[in-house]
Amino acid sequence: MILIWLLIVPLAAGPLAFFLRRRHLMEAVNLTAFAVLLCLATALSLQVGRSGPVSVLDGFFYADALSALVVLLSAFVALICSIYAIGYFRHDESNGVFQEGEKLGGGRAINKLREYYTLTPLFVFSMILVALANNLGILWVAIEGTTLASVFLVMFYGRETSLEAAWKYAIIGGVGLSMALFGTILTYYSAHQALGTDTLAGLNWSVLVGNASQFDKPTMRLAFILILLGYGTKAGIAPMHTWKPDAYSEAPIPGAAMLAAAVLNCAIYGLVRFYILTAKCLGPGFASHLLILFGLLSMGVAVPFILVQKNFRRMLAYSSIDHSGIMVLALGFGGPLGVLGMLLHMTFHSITKPLLFFCAGNVQQQLKTDLFREAKGGLIHSMPLTGAAFLMVTLAVTGAPPFSLFLSEFTILRAGFSRGYLVLAILFITFLVAIFSGFLIHIANLVLGPDPGLPSAETCRWKKSSVVGLALVIIVMGFWIPAPLFRLIQGAVDIVTSGR
Amino acid sequence: MTFLQDPEFGDRIITLMAALVLVLQIAAVGQRWLVSSIRIFAVQSFLLAAIAGIIAYFNHASHIYIAALLTLVLKAGLLPWLLERLVRRIQIRREIEPLINAPLSILIAGCLTLVGYVVAQSFYHPEETSVRAALGHNTLAVAIALFLIGFFTMLNRRKALTQVLGLLSLENGLFLAAISLTYGMPLVVELGIFFDVLVAVMILGILVFRIREAFDSMDVSKLRKLRE
């Protein structure tokens, strides 16, 4: 029953916000819906951790530890972003940002806010559906749904550049996902011969995983390549990453944070499901080599763009490309240790990344630019809280100890060494160090330095509370992982490594 | 009327129609007029709906009738109508300047068809001599060719609307692959895919309209402000 509620709450919150006239009512609906969603997701995680997979409606919706983890992370990111969004859009409104885009299909502030508060719950609904769908075809429909719901978020401000970013996002996403659909069809075909002509259950994960070893092998091989290209496009791994810097720098900050911290997980989740089938059908070698190749390529592509980056919002996008590369690489290293590293990385990344976006958003709203060149440095004087948090989260996101991403990256490194990928593991460290130094230099230049004499900003309690709250979570997670959460992750590791 | 029960007859009809779909696709590659590209897409979708109907008839698979009906209504009716309306509203009838000229484009489309056949060959299991395997083999090759040519069209055209058409014909290739390989995906999946395609075309339509207003052109090569 809890699975149904998880879907109904965001699905109802979107249309409800559409019919409201007052700004603070929309904000309240959004906030309440996501708070309830996080409670439900926590309840689901505890239940799955205690008594194993849950399914309803003849197995149409299905949740095991892996899906529960993705649901939990999506709900967490949605809630924290909705808190920040309140402060962010109030600031935008009082600065008249919405009027700029008015002639290009923007509109009155209240209409833009309604657009945001209606689409975001639908966006979250598709993310939850990705994790809860048992049928791999529905999984595809839901991932396409996340793209469709977020295209309008990317062109939210209605500037010429937003249109360009939205066009790229929609077209590249559309082509990528059509490849994933082809992969899904071929998976169905290769399973068809083993399972007979049972039409609905033939794509159900819970049925497929038990029979994966009898699938038609050449078909499955092609299917996995298409799935990797398709869901890889959605996860933004190189060379299909080109939509990411544009979309992330044009979308409003809360939307971009959700794209980076939650949708990324959904795409990786889809990839993992097919990886399990492929590994059972063909043995782990074939899929691993492809994943390692694309993972390292993504990290390698991110390095030069982070080192010479001029725009701090685009830099966040390259950081996201880097992190999806790390996750794909970890999955490629495989084994219990590699998969554990990947799932820990997914968890910690989802918790850490939104704060990076919030700090960048605060800085952008203060300076009215997203270029390093036009920022004079010394932001810590006018925005002490954001400045400090920005430095902290930069260290956290680049994997410096004691923050939690260090733990996951170290686990992945150990997995690489223990599986005998010596050269690749060294390459992995090199990329990490290069990204660390590039990131730190840019952000330190932005935040530290003499006081340029800007007026003090930071009065909004919504923005402050989301930044402080999330920073506390990140610090705590550096030292302590709640036992139920770790059990959930271990359960998910078992699913990936043994298929059950 | 015994031939109406003969699966081999059905197979031949389907192969013939799949060939027609492919011919239309190649014709669309050489097409210079936007409206005729849209109409070619409509005819192609109509043929696909017919193929789905024939497969449903010969295999007594009633859920494919629904997919066939949806294809007919959405892809052969509603979407072309919406796109033509969009073309009229933004008042562009002629579509020129592909990156590669028409004869060479058609040649490339021919090569992609060959690639489709080579890829489909790898799925062909000669030990399965049933009609179904042979049927899957021919139509799968056409489906892969449609997919690749759709891809090529998207790269080759610079007008926003023709990229949408490329995406749609790519989707048509997938539909053909799904019905010929496995007699259609499960019905809920099929419905979900139709819904997504419909919404995607509407969103892209809105985008085309706004791009046209903002840039005074549909030429996507003018979208180049976001650079490193």
- In angstroms, the CA A222 to CA A187 distance is 9
Both structure tokens of A464: 């402050």
Which chain A residue is nearest to residue B150, measuring alpha carbons? A175
Q: Is A368 helix (H, G, I), strand (E, B) or coil?
A: coil
**Exposed (0-12), middle (13-18) or buried (19+): which is A379, by Cβ within 10 Å?**
buried
Nearest CB to A182; choose among B163, B174, B182: B174
Q: Are B79 and B9 in contact (CB under 8 A)?
A: no
- In angstroms, the CA B189 to CA A262 distance is 24
Q: Are A280 and A146 in contact (CB under 8 A)?
A: no
- In angstroms, the CA A178 to CA B196 distance is 11
Indicate yes or no: CB of A137 within 8 angstroms of CB of B188.
Answer: yes
Which residues from A are below 8 Å from B160, CB to CB? Answer: 167
SS (H, E, C) A295-359: HHHHHHHHHHHHHCCCEHHHHHHHHHHHHHHHHHHHHHHCHHHHHHHHHHHHHHHHHHHHHHHHH
Which residues from A are below 8 Å from B188, CB to CB? Answer: 135, 137-138, 200
The residue extents of the domains of chain B are: 2-222
Which chain B residue is nearest to residue A312, measuring alpha carbons? B228
Nearest CB to B207; choose among A144, A163, A178: A163
Start-to-end Cα distance in chain A: 23
Indicate yes or no: CB of A181 within 8 angstroms of CB of B154.
Answer: no
- In angstroms, the CA A380 to CA B47 distance is 65
Q: Chain centroid to CA B196: how far?
A: 15
- In angstroms, the CA B198 to CA B220 distance is 22
Q: Is A400 helix (H, G, I), strand (E, B) or coil?
A: coil
Indicate yes or no: CB of A182 within 8 angstroms of CB of B177.
Answer: yes
- In angstroms, the CA A82 to CA A86 distance is 7
Q: What is the pLDDT along chain A (500 residues), one digit of tens a residue?
A: 888 998 999 999 988 988 888 888 888 999 999 999 999 999 999 998 888 888 888 778 988 899 999 999 999 999 999 999 998 988 888 877 776 655 545 457 788 888 899 999 999 999 999 999 888 888 999 999 999 889 988 988 888 888 888 888 998 898 899 899 989 888 888 887 777 655 566 788 888 887 788 888 888 888 899 999 999 999 989 888 889 999 998 899 999 999 999 999 999 999 999 999 898 888 888 889 999 999 999 999 999 999 988 888 899 999 999 999 999 999 999 888 999 999 999 999 999 999 999 999 988 888 888 887 877 778 888 888 888 999 999 999 998 888 999 999 999 999 999 988 889 999 999 999 999 999 999 998 888 888 777 777 767 888 888 999 999 999 999 888 898 999 999 999 998 888 65
Looking at CA atoms only, how far is residue A497 from chain B in angstroms? 28
- In angstroms, the CA A419 to CA A453 distance is 54
Question: What is the CA angle A44-A116-A32, rounded to 5?
Answer: 40
Which residues from B are below 8 Å from A226, CB to CB? Answer: none
Question: What is the CA angle A327-A329-A332, rounded to 5?
Answer: 115
Sign of CA dihedral A63, A64, A70, A71: positive
Supply the range of the domain harboring residue A342.
2-498
How many C-beta neighbours within 10 Å does residue A334 have? 22
Is ipTM beyond 0.90?
Answer: no
Question: How many CB pairs below 8 A link A and B?
Answer: 130
Both structure tokens of A8: 């109904």
pTM of the model: 0.90
Which chain A residue is nearest to residue B162, measuring alpha carbons? A171
Residue A133 φ then ψ, to 5°: -70, 130
What is the number of domains present in chain A?
Answer: 1
